[in-house]
A and B are shown apart, each in its own frame.
Chain A
């Protein structure tokens, strides 16, 4: 693991690395190098299996984290390539040419996070949702509880009491 990381560090500008286990590490890479690194890992380092692509919304810092997780089926190790992209008008280079399965992930990210992957096949088609008009639901600023309460009809007749408040109101109402 260390060897590969050193090799990658010599070729790419790794800004942050996190070795989670002896078979799993995460590397942070600038946006423009990410696909290149993924390709490099696939073609030269044996990380030929693609495990997942997902995004994390760091709304406080104003960016999305994309994680490409690659698996090496010969020595059973995994490398997560992380890259940060701008949250506004989020766009990322498409990697559908690397793995066939990639376009599904990109379709999902487009729908759930609103991250665009220009050139990825069927990326604009509805994947999971149908006729969704609100902001992409996996973004942190989408409040699912509020949406659900406004849209669906929670059954009335529920009321609860906080023990402390209730005791206060009953036992010492004048305080």
Chain B
């Protein structure tokens, strides 16, 4: 008798609960077989401020609903009553963890609709800032995957280096979290003296971190047991559910805007995003780990290739009453989570008619997460959420 088979027989409950005729699971709470359980918003395992309404049977989730809106500030509405320049401080707060793509996208939308060319130097600086932003997110996000499985050590190390990167941001942009660096037409300053040297020191630490996180997490038997085979995203889900960035690349589908629709200076940089096909939590985390290395390498490349001096800002009309002709556009860039896009409609006035931000979390955290959580263990909700890199503020904005 194969003991393994008996275990599997009892652990495989994919057909559980029964599915009714309307395609929905039959869940009778009064049968005392199921328990309704909320995770979040006050829950350390939930990324950011959102909540999951789980129906569990034992430790297993049979139905899940995500509830968002705890961070809704109505940005898109607020931006409709702000001038273009005033949108910037507002806009960057749409995603707290990685605010720079917001800045870039809004600036790009404005530039594209009003036809402004950005100077060379500013483009390099923008690329640098975007990569630095990716670096600081990944330094938190990569070990954060271990954190969801209670391996907090890597998170501690990563966060320290992230803090150092934030110091570099502070030097360069004047802000620690909200940088307000990219403005329409260009950026707000050149590299300070000695920046490259200090950055290189930090990158060395990051290199060491990459190595040690590999030892700690990816070669960790327990982590492998937890993460491998968990929450597999089949390839056909990529388009159906809208899967972007590292999550799609873990499924073997190349989705990286930096490569497919190069923007800024990415066409001049040499990099190859990593893809794999396992598509489980481990693979997604591993893709991010490779991304981290790519990013470190890219920052080195950028710092080597960028010119020393140059114009940082193209002249713009007076920002106090800048009117942009009627039009609409969609621009996108690659955030650490995937394709990050902004759709802007202008109507010829000095305020945008409509701004819509599309972050990958919008699809990841709603339909995809709900789908992946079914038949998962309660213990894995946090791991799955983090592996999809959900960022609630970009869902509800």
Contacts and interface: CB of A to CB of B under 8 A. Distances in A.
Interface string B42-73: 00000000000000000000000000110010
A144 B81 contact: yes
A147 to B, nearest CB: 10
Contacts of B358: 51-52
Contacts of A130: 69
Given A54-B343, A128-B72, A137-B77, A99 B240 contact: yes
A76 B260 CA distance: 6
B86 interface: no
Interface in A13-71: 18, 20-21, 23-24, 26, 48-52, 54-57, 65, 67, 69
Interface in B70-129: 72, 74, 76-78, 80-81, 112
A78 B331 CA distance: 10
Given A51-B358, A56-B353, A128-B396, A26 B241 contact: no
Interface residues of A, number: 38
A80 B328 CA distance: 10
Contacts of A23: 261
A49 B69 CA distance: 25
Interface string B225-262: 00000000000001111100000000001010000110
Contact of B68 (A52, A80, A128): A128
A67 B329 CA distance: 11
Nearest to A105: B362
A104 interface: yes
A145 B356 contact: no
Contacts of B112: 20-21
Contact of A137 (B74, B329, B366, B396): B74
Contacts, number: 95
A23 B331 CA distance: 10
B354 interface: yes
Contacts of B368: 100-101
A80 B330 contact: yes
A83 interface: no
Given A23-B261, A130-B69, A138 B242 contact: no
A100 B366 CA distance: 10
B363 interface: yes
B330 A24 contact: yes
Contacts of B317: none
Contacts of B241: 99-101
A73 interface: yes
A130 B68 CA distance: 10
A51 B367 contact: no
B341 interface: yes
Interface in B309-361: 327-330, 339, 341, 343, 345, 353-354, 356, 358
Contacts of B255: 73
A128 B356 CA distance: 15
Interface string A130-152: 10000001101010110000000
A82 B238 CA distance: 24
Nearest to A42: B239
B108 to A, nearest CB: 11
Nearest to A140: B80
A31 B327 CA distance: 21
B358 to A, nearest CB: 4
A129 B74 CA distance: 10
**Among B261, B330, B345, B356, residue most surrounded by chain A Cβ atoms (within 10 Å):** B330
B366 A101 contact: yes
Contacts of A99: 239-242
A144 B354 contact: no
Contacts of A69: 330, 343
A48 B68 contact: no
Contacts of A21: 112, 329
A69 B341 CA distance: 11
Contacts of A101: 240-242, 362-363, 366-368
Q: Which 3 A-B pairs have the closest CB atoms?
A: A128-B69, A101-B242, A54-B356
Given A73-B260, A101-B363, 19 more contacts: A20-B112, A20-B328, A20-B330, A49-B238, A50-B239, A50-B242, A69-B343, A76-B261, A99-B240, A99-B242, A100-B240, A100-B367, A101-B240, A101-B242, A103-B367, A127-B68, A137-B74, A144-B78, A145-B81
6 contacts: A18-B328, A20-B327, A50-B239, A69-B330, A73-B255, A142-B77
